Chains A and B, each alone.
Chain A
Amino acid sequence: SSELTQDPAVSVALGQTVRITCQGDSLRSYYASWYQQKPGQAPVLVIYAKNNRPSGIPDRFSGSSSGNTASLTITGAQAEDEGDYYCNSRDSSGNHYVFGTGTKVTVL
């Protein structure tokens, strides 16, 4: 399968922890990267190569992976973390990229 599946929406109380998952066969062979997108804005890379943060991304964002599932965890969620989150990886052939279906995160 070339699909990456995410839960459509999750909510988290301010200051609490939320985990977003991404499932797909290709994740057994390739790392996932994660992107945050706010309304009307371009996506921003928040995690790459499973658990690395680009400069400027807060350390409350972390990534992990096991088997066919990659996860993005926000520890101590802030109001500014609201938005859509997408995972991304290669497809099973390795020739193409594929994005996850996206998860809308709401901070209560």
Chain B
Amino acid sequence: EVQLLESGGGLVQPGGSLRLSCAASGFTFSRYAMSWVRQAPGKGLEWVSSISGSGSSTSYADSVKGRFTFSRDNSKNTLHLQMNSLRAEDTAVYYCPRVGPQDDFDYWGQGTLVTVSS
């Protein structure tokens, strides 16, 4: 059974940093690209970033480029999202869905809440 478990969320001040993690299990981790998708309170879904199976290729939404860094450790089946220079508009639930073979997001975790506020 595919399982994705996000962690690391919390309250951080504007300008601060936070590191999210996502632990994956139930599939051959290194064979799949992964992504981060966020949802601000009461708002829609927003794609944040994706990483290839090997970790050699990443892409970012313009809203986070230069501030967020997506990495993976295939030996530990873990993803990390390093978030720097956080802004109030980064407040959201962050999900780490798997990118399926047909370029969709086929499995999702329950998400972790990031709140940026003073």
Contacts and interface: CB of A to CB of B under 8 A. Distances in A.
Interface of A: 30-31, 33, 35, 37, 42-45, 48-49, 52, 54, 84, 86, 88, 90, 95-102
A interface majority secondary structure:
strand
Interface string B99-118: 01011111111110000000
B47 A99 contact: yes
Contacts of A44: 108
Contact of A42 (B47, B95, B102): B95
A45 B61 contact: no
A84 B43 CA distance: 11
22 contacts: A33-B105, A35-B45, A37-B45, A42-B110, A43-B105, A43-B108, A44-B108, A45-B100, A48-B102, A48-B106, A49-B104, A86-B44, A88-B45, A95-B59, A96-B59, A96-B61, A97-B47, A99-B44, A99-B47, A101-B44, A102-B44, A102-B45
Given A96-B59, A101-B44, A102-B44, A54 B106 contact: yes
Contact of B104 (A37, A45, A84, A96): A45
Q: Give the residue among B47, B59, B104, B109 with the most A Cβ atoms within 10 A.
A: B104
Contacts of B71: none
Contacts of B21: none
A40 B47 CA distance: 19
B44 A97 contact: no
A58 to B, nearest CB: 17
B73 interface: no
A41 to B, nearest CB: 8
B91 interface: no
B89 interface: no
Contact of A31 (B37, B44, B45, B103): B103
Nearest to A6: B44
Contact of B100 (A48, A97, A100): A48
Interface string B38-56: 0000001111001000000
Contacts of A86: 44-45
Contacts of B59: 95-96
